[in-house]
Amino acid sequence: DQQVKQNSPSLSVQEGRISILNCDYTNSMFDYFLWYKKYPAEGPTFLISISSIKDKNEDGRFTVFLNKSAKHLSLHIVPSQPGDSAVYFCAARVTGTASKLTFGTGTRLQVTL
Amino acid sequence: GAVVSQHPSWVICKSGTSVKIECRSLDFQATTMFWYRQFPKQSLMLMATSNEGSKATYEQGVEKDKFLINHASLTLSTLTVTSAHPEDSSFYICSARDPQRKADEQFFGPGTRLTVL
């Protein structure tokens, strides 16, 4: 049972344009969401997070939007840069579960010149 | 800061042998470490939570006698895949939580690619 889903396995965006990565979840108990970026042969690195009490969190070029009623979150990267090319995972957590994270399957972002 | 290393980065072994993977927090003390497994084109699946000085907590469906976890110090956790079989071939990633930082932030190691022949 995949509780966190990223339905787009890959995405290609031109440099300078906006990248939008989507994530859906099914467990209504999730109350904290995170985005990780992963390069080949490296572990995931934390990008940005959002609590369920918010609907938007912004950090530089990265913005995460949360729609609780739709159980949907998205990561916006603007402007996209070639160095953003990586696999992006969204993850979710339930408060009180000792930081246990449930990950999506990832979306491979390719930023082209 | 908050660097996590894994060793080895890749390993090939024969079926039936045991393989040990180390996870180290290099610049912080990690009371809690997590072990994940990732199959191709799938998500990272949490296998177990490793707490320093106590037994690991395994996720449902993960055989604790097959995947032995030891968290003997605040900077080292080990995962031993015992009697490995080809279906154990996967990418194993550990993460560590720094108690000095936000509780939700985990720092991941680079992963270990295990291939069982």
**Residues of chain A with C-beta less than 8 angstroms from the C-beta of B110:** 41-43
Q: Measured between CB atoms, does A93 come within 8 Å of chain B? A: yes
Residue B104: band (very low, low, confident or very high) from pLDDT cuts 50, 70, 90: low
CB-CB: which of A42, A98, A99 is closest to B110?
A42
Higher pLDDT, B27 or A71: A71
**Three state DSSP letters for A11-40:** EEEECCCCEEEEEEECCCCCCEEEEEEECC
Do B104 and A106 lie within an 8 Å CB cutoff?
Answer: no
Across A75-102, average pLDDT:
90
Residue A69: band (very low, low, confident or very high) from pLDDT cuts 50, 70, 90: very high
Render pLDDT for B65-84 as a digit per residue (tens, 0 to 9): 999 999 888 899 999 999 99
Q: Residue B62 has what pLDDT? A: 94
Residue B51: band (very low, low, confident or very high) from pLDDT cuts 50, 70, 90: confident
Distance separating alpha carbons of residues A53 and B38, to the nearest angstrom: 30
Beta bridge partners of B49: B34, B57
Distance separating alpha carbons of residues A69 and B11, to the nearest angstrom: 45
Q: Residue A98 has what pLDDT? A: 61
Residues in Cβ contact with A13 at an 8 Å cutoff, skipping those fewer than 6 apart: A19, A80, A109, A110, A111, A112
Q: Measured between CB atoms, does A107 come within 8 Å of chain B? A: no
Do B106 and A99 lie within an 8 Å CB cutoff?
Answer: yes
pLDDT at B102 over 90: no
CB-CB: which of B4, B104, B110 is closest to A32?
B104
Distance separating alpha carbons of residues A15 and A52, to the nearest angstrom: 31
The lowest-confidence range among B50-54, B73-77, B90-94 is B50-54
**Mean pLDDT over the full length of chain B:** 90
Element (H, E) at B78: strand B76-81
Across B53-59, average pLDDT:
89
Across A15-32, average pLDDT:
95
How many percent of chain A have pLDDT more than 70? Answer: 96
